[in-house]
Amino acid sequence: MSLNYLLDENVDRLYQIELMRREPSLVVWRVGDPGAPTRSTLDPEILLWCEEYDFVLVTNNRTSMPPHLIDHINQGRHIPGIFILNPNLSIGGNIDELILIALASEEDEYQDRIVNLPLP
């Protein structure tokens, strides 16, 4: 099982480039890419898109995303998961975590959860 990742528009494009280079089997889109939500899409709309298209959101957003997820779930909706990058890890360290998670995860393992990297 492999997860699909949607990178928030504020996540450095290097993440997308390196994730796809290091693990070509991954599907990694970024807000603003063709087929993905457009840049400046509001967080609640991004969560709806992730739910509809089965993408885990990867973000730096530690402040507004938790309340948006609570609102999303309270509306009876679901999301495959949200991963928050760790500013204390290098880009390579965060990428290693994302690859490991994508390749080793069970279906729905992170559903409706916000997970701060690295995993414990």
Distance, C-alpha 15 to centroid of its chain: 11
> Domain range for residue 58?
4-116
Tell me the pLDDT band of 119, cut-offs 50, 70 and 90: confident
- Here the CATH number for the domain that contains residue 9 is 3.40.50
**Contact residues for 83 (Cβ-Cβ < 8 A; gap 6+):** 5, 56, 57, 58, 59, 98, 101, 110, 114, 115, 116, 117
- Determine contact, residues 60/94, Cβ cutoff 8 Å: no
Q: What pTM did the predictor assign?
A: 0.95
**Chain-centre distance for alpha carbon 105:** 14
Give the pLDDT of residue 1.
58
- pLDDT for position 120: 78
Number of structural domains found in the chain:
1
Mean pLDDT of 95-111: 94
pLDDT-derived band of residue 86, with 50, 70 and 90 as boundaries? very high
CB burial readout 84-94, b (16+ within 10 A) else e: bbeeeeeeeeb
The position carrying tokens 């957003």 is: 61
Question: For 2-18, how does the pLDDT look when each residue is reduced to its tens digit (9 = 90+)?
Answer: 799 999 999 999 999 99
Alpha helices in 27-64 (DSSP H): 43-53
